């Protein structure tokens, strides 16, 4: 405990320096804007900002990008509550009861509870991150190639089980991502694979063009030409204060949302999206008056908003402790660290204590900044929503081209982004989840290396994966998930998506 406090003090000595503080603030403001604007989610926002962090020191870079991430979680709630437009996917559930509250003249308390819930969940999750990440990192030092193989395969199965779509479709998309990750030079043999003479593909396909194409461009292709948004309410500061009854009703959902969000955040997948759906389903189930849900129940705002913020923080645990991203957003952040020559993994916390603890402390600061931004300044941010989408999307499109080009000054990357945009658009039409593609792409080299090293270690025997206790435990967990996924097919029962109402809303 004393060690953690000393480390945290070290962290605050970093996080409270003027430059880190300024970038944390900038990240939170940009994140809030990114979360509010439809067509520009946190992933596209972070990807576009990535080139701008190359000239910064690694602590400032990661603080800025993570500020964008959890800032977007806060910002996404504003458009959901006021306009029934989810600024990003994790805010879809907030639309349901948040907008119903707006229609009943309770937009202020809905915004306030969303901000308070996000703040509480964000802060509690940072405390959990602080204790869990170093423990997990110490444990991960026992991992060899077979354990990493088992961990990655289990991760893909967890991702597919927890995804909002069907399991085979999610796994197929993960494999598409893994195949994209095979493009370029093979690290073990030096062969250049699938590059068809394009020199730029020798280094493989980068995560940024793929992420911006799949998530940013495809969203614009789907939404361009939509009608101008309706008139927006702008609550005054006094109207933001929730009633005592609303506060009482929100305490339980915020606590549960924080816990659920953090737990889901640790496992792979679009954690912040899934956590908000699961939290909403649980709150509806636990309520004595479930009929209030959909008609302006404050619990339907408090739970999902807390959950998506907690999940955003939870996702940093495997990223920092194991060097394994649980989703495309943490994958881009890992890329940002690698650009600065920092190798994320179990040794990161020991080798870079200033970076890790400075990052943790900056999250405390960021949550306070976001609470200030999202309560008294909400009226200011709402003005941005008055810009017609017909002006907004061309600018976002230009930002996509600018951001992708500037990562490595390559037009090939922009062509990849355009191709991925078209691909993502078609996949969305066919109800495929896009996140596994980005995750597969980033994990492909790690998975290939660990599979080949494991086989080399064992002299060609797949038995190595079943000789080692940690790997066996992971495969057993994966087998349980497969059985759980098969259960609804065999017994014709509802699976978890139907139980939490995910299929109704997705």
Partner 1 sequence: MTNAPQPAAVAAPRGLRSDGLSGALLILVALAVAWENRVFPTGSLAEPGPGYVPLLFAVALGCFGLLIMLRGSASPLLNTIEWTESRRGLVLLVACGVAVFALERIGYRLTMIALLVFLLGVVERKRPLPTLLVALGFAFASYFLFATLLKVQLPRGPWGF
Residues that bind partner 1 (CB under 8 A): 51-52, 54-55, 166, 168-169, 171-172, 175-176, 178-179, 182, 186, 188-189, 191, 193-194, 217, 220-225, 390-391, 394-395, 397-399, 401-402, 405-406, 409, 411, 414-415, 418, 421-422, 425, 429-432, 447-448, 451-452, 455-456, 459-461
Token pair 């609470």 is at which residue? 371
Task: Output phi, psi for 429, to 5 deg.
Answer: -65, -30
Minimum Å gap between C-beta 398 and partner 1 is 5
For partner 1, the closer CB: 105 or 504: 504
Minimum Å gap between C-beta 14 and partner 1 is 22
Minimum Å gap between C-beta 237 and partner 1 is 32
For partner 1, the closer CB: 368 or 401: 401
Identify whether the C-beta of residue 296 lies closer than 8 Å to the C-beta of residue 100. Answer: yes
Helix, strand or coil, per DSSP, at residue 237: coil
For partner 1, the closer CB: 223 or 233: 223
CA-CA distance, 87 to 79, in Å (whole number)? 6
Question: For helices 299-314 and 58-83, what crossing angle results, to 10°?
Answer: 160
For partner 1, the closer CB: 169 or 354: 169
Q: DSSP string spanning 178-202?
A: HHHTTSEE-TTT--EES-TT-GGGG
Name the residue among 313, 312, 306 with its Cα closest to residue 279: 306
Token pair 């309706």 is at which residue? 230
Minimum Å gap between C-beta 191 and partner 1 is 4
For partner 1, the closer CB: 9 or 395: 395
- Secondary structure of 330-346 as H, E, C letters: HHHHHHHHHHCCCCCCC
For partner 1, the closer CB: 422 or 479: 422
Work out the number of other CB atoms within 10 angstroms of the CB of residue 143. 19
Minimum Å gap between C-beta 148 and partner 1 is 14
Minimum Å gap between C-beta 447 and partner 1 is 8
CA-CA distance, 18 to 252, in Å (whole number)? 37
CA-CA distance, 249 to 243, in Å (whole number)? 10
Q: What is the DSSP letter of 192?
A: E
Minimum Å gap between C-beta 41 and partner 1 is 18
For partner 1, the closer CB: 200 or 448: 448
Q: What is the DSSP letter of 400?
A: H
Name the residue among 443, 398, 404 with its Cα closest to residue 420: 404
CA-CA distance, 47 to 433, in Å (whole number)? 19
190 Cβ neighbours under 8 A, 6+ residues apart: none
Minimum Å gap between C-beta 489 and partner 1 is 9
Minimum Å gap between C-beta 133 and partner 1 is 30
For partner 1, the closer CB: 161 or 364: 161
Identify whether the C-beta of residue 90 lies closer than 8 Å to the C-beta of residue 505. Answer: no
Name the residue among 312, 305, 240 with its Cα closest to residue 277: 305
Identify whether the C-beta of residue 194 lies closer than 8 Å to the C-beta of residue 202. Answer: no
For partner 1, the closer CB: 294 or 394: 394
């Amino acid at each position: 405990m004393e060690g953690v406090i000393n480390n945290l003090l070290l962290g605050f000595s970093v996080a409270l320096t003027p430059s880190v503080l300024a970038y944390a603030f900038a990240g939170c403001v940009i994140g809030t804007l990114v979360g509010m604007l439809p067509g520009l989610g946190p992933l596209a926002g972070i990807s576009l900002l990535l080139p701008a962090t190359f000239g910064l020191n690694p602590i400032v870079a990661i603080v800025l990008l993570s500020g964008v991430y959890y800032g977007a979680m806060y910002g996404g709630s504003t458009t959901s509550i006021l306009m029934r437009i989810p600024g990003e996917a994790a805010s879809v559930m907030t639309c349901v009861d948040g907008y119903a509250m707006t229609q009943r003249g309770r937009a202020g308390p809905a915004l306030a509870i969303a901000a308070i819930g996000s703040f509480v969940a964000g802060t509690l999750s940072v405390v959990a991150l602080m204790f869990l990440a170093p423990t997990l990192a110490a444990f991960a030092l026992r991992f060899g190639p077979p354990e990493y193989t088992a961990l990655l395969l289990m991760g893909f199965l967890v991702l597919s089980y927890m995804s909002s779509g069907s399991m085979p479709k999610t796994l197929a998309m993960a494999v598409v991502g893994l195949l994209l990750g095979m493009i370029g030079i093979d690290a073990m043999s030096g062969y250049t694979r699938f590059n068809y003479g394009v020199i730029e593909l020798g280094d493989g396909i980068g995560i940024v063009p793929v992420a911006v194409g799949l998530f940013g461009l495809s969203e614009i292709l789907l939404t361009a030409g939509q009608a101008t948004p309706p008139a927006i309410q702008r609550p005054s500061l006094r109207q933001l204060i929730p009633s005592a009854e609303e506060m009482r009703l929100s305490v339980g959902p915020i606590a549960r949302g924080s816990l659920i969000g953090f737990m889901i955040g640790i496992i792979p997948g679009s954690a912040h999206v899934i956590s908000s759906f699961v939290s909403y389903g649980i709150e509806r189930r636990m309520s004595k008056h479930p009929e209030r849900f959909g008609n302006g129940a404050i619990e339907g705002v408090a739970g999902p908003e807390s959950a998506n913020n907690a999940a955003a923080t939870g996702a940093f645990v495997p990223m920092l402790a194991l060097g394994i991203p649980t989703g495309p957003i943490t994958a881009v952040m890992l890329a940002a660290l690698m650009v600065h020559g920092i190798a994320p993994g179990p040794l990161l916390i020991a080798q870079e204590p200033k970076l890790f603890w400075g990052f943790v402390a900056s999250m405390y600061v960021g949550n306070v900044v976001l609470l200030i931004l999202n309560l008294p300044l909400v009226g200011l941010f709402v003005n941005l929503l008055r810009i017609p989408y017909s002006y907004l999307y061309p600018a976002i499109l230009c930002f996509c081209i600018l951001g992708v080009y500037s990562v490595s000054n390559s037009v090939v990357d922009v062509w990849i982004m355009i191709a991925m945009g078209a691909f993502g658009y078609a996949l969305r039409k066919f109800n495929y989840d896009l996140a596994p593609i980005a995750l597969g792409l980033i994990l492909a080299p790690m998975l290939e290396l660990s599979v080949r090293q494991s086989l080399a270690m064992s002299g060609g025997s797949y038995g190595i994966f079943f000789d080692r206790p940690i790997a066996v435990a992971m495969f057993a967990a994966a087998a349980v998930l497969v059985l759980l996924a098969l259960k609804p097919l065999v017994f014709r029962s509802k699976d978890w998506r139907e139980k939490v109402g995910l299929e109704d809303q997705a």
